[in-house]
Amino acid sequence: MKTETSLQWKLVKYLLAFVIALLALLWLFQVVFLDSFYQRFKIEGIEKIGNTLAANLESDKLPDIVAQQARQNDACIRVLYGIFQIQTTNTMGCQIYNLNDSDIAQYVAKAEANGGSYLDIQSEKVISELPNGNLLFSNKQGSRNLIYFKVVEGRRNQKDIIMVNTHISPVNATTETLRTQLGYISMIVIVASVGLAFLMSRRIVKPIVNINQSARQMAEGNYDIVFTGKGYKEITQLNDTMNHTTRKLKEVDQMRRDLIANVSHDLRTPLTMISGYGEMMRDLPGENTPENVQVIIDEAHRLSNLVNDLLDLSKLQENKIELHAQHFDLTQLIETVLHRYEKFMTQDGFDIQFEHQESVWVNADPDRLGQVLYNFINNAINYSLEDKRILIRQSIDGTRVRVEVEDHGEGISEDKLSYIWDRYYKVDKTHKRSSAGSGIGLAIVREILELHHAQYGVKSEFGQGSVFWFELPIVPERES
């Protein structure tokens, strides 16, 4: 069962959740808490007036300050200090003007008990007359009267009294308007955000869907498919990667086909020889000669060499082979390897020379390096043609030793040079049967030298011969 939601729905969901959270926040602040915010704002205002006046009680400008504070804060103010009294003009019907001495005394007592100031929040009453003539006092919805008293110890131990009176008008009408507006805004924003999410997701999703379709075709084995998703950077990058992957897959697929063709070709030839010679020896008694048996043995060796090479290469490529690195005398290793070629020198007329000065020690896997040398020398012999001079040169370049195997044979043309290290690449596709070549020798060499982090390469000119080389860091000779 498919449980994942598509990107499109996810985007719509997230954007909707975000918009709803935003609207809810707006609703809370604008509608639900508006009244309490407003009241708090008013209370803070009234306390500020009290503090400002308390700080300026001694000032000559007190009357001006009183007038200014009253105007700015829309409040009534009355200040009693000593025998003086300042009060704003009674325009708003403020209650503090009507307080008698005992009311004032009560408030002062409450303020003193409360640490110097006291705030009285009263619901404003509406008086309405009932049909029977009685008066009904009811609360005026949301409307409040704030009376603030501040008692300050003045000069000569007298108490100065600051009275501030202001109203909180009902916010019901405002919240009602805001609620309606918010309703409209919510609808518009939700519809718009859903639309936007769909549009956005289409832009994001469409190229992904395209790429997915192409990838499916690629999975079916169609490597000629071209990925065309574009629109934004990540998609273009994915697109490029997919195109690159297709190219690589195509190459690998081609190599796989070549490999199968080449391996089966190389397997078939010795197998045909073995069965052919075998049958001939069975049917014709006179053919049962040691030479013919030798042919069968040689061909069987060729087969096992080929299989071994293939196994070796695949192990090397899967990093399953560990190097057994040790300090050893590279010069001596080269000499040992060359010793095995003495047969070629005498029988086939090869002239193999080793040019070197002092012995050089390296830290490497001697068996694997031997394999590299065998490959280079075998190739030099196989592709030598008439000129059978082969030169192995060991030279020192600073801290590194360079080993070169030089032949004067057929050489390799420049356009083929970069391919010869590939698995099963043969310059000559006609598969000339050579004594040692299995077609994957240089691929093995490359893996081995790369495992050693060695530098390696080839210089070659078609018709002139080739120089295959590698370089390794020299290590000091071990005293044993």
Touching ligand ADP, residues 72-91 (CB under 6 A): none
SS3 label, residue 445: helix
Longest Cα–Cα distance of the chain, Å, equals 154
Task: Report which residue's Cβ sits closest to ligand ADP.
Answer: 437
What gap in Å lies between CA 269 and CA 265, rounded to an integer? 6
Nearer to ligand ADP, 167 or 423 (CB): 423
- Does residue 409 bind ligand ADP (CB under 6 A)? yes
Nearer to ligand ADP, 117 or 375 (CB): 375
Shortest Cβ 270–ligand ADP spacing (Å): 14
Shortest Cβ 352–ligand ADP spacing (Å): 13
SS3 label, residue 465: strand
Shortest Cβ 406–ligand ADP spacing (Å): 9
- Does residue 383 bind ligand ADP (CB under 6 A)? yes
- What type of residue is 213? Q
What gap in Å lies between CA 190 and CA 23, rounded to an integer? 9
- Does residue 412 bind ligand ADP (CB under 6 A)? yes
- Does residue 410 bind ligand ADP (CB under 6 A)? yes
Touching ligand ADP, residues 425-454 (CB under 6 A): 425-428, 437-443
Shortest Cβ 345–ligand ADP spacing (Å): 17
What gap in Å lies between CA 137 and CA 143, rounded to an integer? 14
Tell me the DSSP string of 401-427: EEEEEEE-SS---HHHHTTTTSTT--S
Shortest Cβ 337–ligand ADP spacing (Å): 16
- Region of 56-64, 146-154, 275-283, 373-381 interacting with ligand ADP (CB under 6 A): 373-381
Q: 288-319 burial string, b = 16+ CB within 10 Å, else e?
A: eeeeeeebbeebeebbeebeebbebbeebeee
CB within 8 A of 324, min separation 6: which ones?
365, 367
- Region of 276-284, 321-329, 333-341, 410-418 interacting with ligand ADP (CB under 6 A): 410-418
- Does residue 270 bind ligand ADP (CB under 6 A)? no
Nearer to ligand ADP, 53 or 306 (CB): 306
Nearer to ligand ADP, 71 or 315 (CB): 315
Nearer to ligand ADP, 310 or 443 (CB): 443
- Does residue 420 bind ligand ADP (CB under 6 A)? yes
Phi, psi of 362 (to 5 degrees): -135, 165
Which runs of E-coded beta strand occur in 156-314?
159-168
Tell me the DSSP string of 162-184: EEEEEEE---HHHHHHHHHHHHH
Nearer to ligand ADP, 79 or 442 (CB): 442
Beta bridge partners of 159: 153
Shortest Cβ 433–ligand ADP spacing (Å): 10
**Which residue in 207, 407, 448, 472 binds ligand ADP (CB under 6 A)?**
407
**Which residue in 88, 95, 331, 379 binds ligand ADP (CB under 6 A)?**
379
Shortest Cβ 466–ligand ADP spacing (Å): 4
What gap in Å lies between CA 330 and CA 307, rounded to an integer? 29
Q: Where are the alpha helices (DSSP H) in 28-94?
A: 34-55, 62-73
**Which residue in 146, 337, 360, 380 binds ligand ADP (CB under 6 A)?**
380
For the chain, how far is it from start to end, CA to CA, in angstroms? 69
Shortest Cβ 216–ligand ADP spacing (Å): 37
- Does residue 316 bind ligand ADP (CB under 6 A)? no
Nearer to ligand ADP, 214 or 375 (CB): 375
- Region of 41-49, 166-174, 217-225, 408-416 interacting with ligand ADP (CB under 6 A): 408-416
What gap in Å lies between CA 43 and CA 65, rounded to an integer? 19
What gap in Å lies between CA 266 and CA 260, rounded to an integer? 10
Per CB under 6 A, residues contacting ligand ADP are 375, 379-380, 382-383, 407, 409-412, 420, 425-428, 437-443, 466
